């Protein structure tokens, strides 16, 4: 199972990514976590990216792409599945991540779009701030991260819809309910993805994959 997640901050990528990874026994590649780990360990990469994280800005594409390539190579060695959490975040990253995955013969089967509105995710992030003290969970920085999401991340959702691998998820609900829905959808797709026929379609002509799975939903991405 190869899954990537597109979602605004606070929609639950981390929670659902961990759930999917545990359910399928695949690596959870979370770029924000990897970057924060570098910051905590005060590696040279961590020192270089700390200010971007504190300000809620995107770190340079190449930094994340190098990190993700390394993680994808490890994921390939571990069986080939993965959950990508936090990348891609703009069109350049979407293209580059696709090329890396194609080169490794492990392009995504499913792009989950966890959709939640700004008021709800802001409420969640401020609640989390009280518990976790992440440097970017302040009201100002949250507003900036959300604006950035709408500006450069949300437009890439259309691309996954065009590729036929988009699965929209209503992320306004409790985490447990969202998790159950995601696992049910992914479990339902598994036999088809595991079959030779599905692999033979891959990755070029997946245009009708979502329809083949009978995936319907609010499809609320701001495309066009």
Q: Which two tokens stand for residue 161?
A: 């819809």
**Residue 179: CB minimum distance to ligand ADP, A:** 17
Note whether 16 binds ligand ADP by CB under 6 A: no
Among 6, 20, 53, 84, binds ligand ADP (CB under 6 A): 53
Note whether 35 binds ligand ADP by CB under 6 A: yes
Number of residues that bind ligand ADP (CB under 6 A): 19
**Residue 198: CB minimum distance to ligand ADP, A:** 28
Q: How far is CA 131 from CA 124, 134, 203, 224, in A?
A: 11, 9, 42, 38
Note whether 28 binds ligand ADP by CB under 6 A: no
- With beta carbons less than 8 A apart as the criterion, state whether 71 and 32 touch: no
Among 16, 50, 93, 122, binds ligand ADP (CB under 6 A): 93
* Number of other residues whose CB lies within 10 A of the CB of residue 70: 12
Would you give the DSSP letter of residue 12? S
| Residue span 131-150 as binding mask against ligand ADP, x where in contact by CB under 6 A, dash where not | -----x--------x-----
Among 4, 64, 114, 221, binds ligand ADP (CB under 6 A): 64
Burial class (CB in 10 A: 0-12, 13-18, 19+), 170: middle
> What is the SS3 string spanning 53-102?
HHHCCCCCHHHHHHHHHHHHHHHHHCCCCEEEECCCCCHHHHHHHHHHHH
Distance from C-alpha of 44 to C-alpha of 42, rounded to nearest angstrom: 6
Among 56, 81, 164, 168, binds ligand ADP (CB under 6 A): 56
Binding site for ligand ADP (CB under 6 A): 9-10, 13, 31-32, 35, 52-53, 56-59, 64, 86-87, 89, 93, 136, 145
């Amino acid at each position: 199972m190869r899954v990537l997640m597109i979602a605004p901050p606070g929609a639950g990528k981390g929670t659902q990514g961990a759930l999917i990874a545990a359910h399928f026994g695949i690596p959870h590649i979370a770029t924000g976590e990897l970057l924060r780990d570098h910051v905590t360990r005060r590696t040279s990469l961590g020192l270089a990216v700390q200010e971007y994280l504190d300000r809620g800005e995107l770190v340079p594409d190449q930094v994340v792409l190098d990190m993700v390539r390394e993680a994808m190579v490890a994921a390939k060695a571990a069986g080939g599945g993965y959950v990508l959490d936090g990348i891609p975040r703009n069109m350049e990253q979407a293209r580059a991540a696709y090329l890396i995955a194609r080169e490794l013969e492990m392009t995504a089967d499913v792009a989950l779009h966890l959709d939640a509105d700004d008021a709800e995710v802001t409420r969640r992030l401020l609640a989390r701030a009280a518990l976790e003290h992440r440097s970017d969970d302040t009201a100002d920085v949250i507003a900036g991260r959300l604006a950035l999401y709408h500006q450069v991340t949300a437009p890439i959702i259309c691309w996954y819809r065009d590729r036929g691998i988009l699965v929209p998820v209503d992320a306004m609900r409790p985490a447990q309910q969202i998790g159950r829905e995601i696992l049910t959808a992914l479990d339902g797709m598994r036999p088809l993805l595991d079959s030779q026929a599905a692999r033979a379609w891959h990755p070029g002509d997946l245009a009708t994959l979502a329809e083949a799975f009978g995936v319907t939903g609010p499809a609320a991405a701001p495309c066009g």
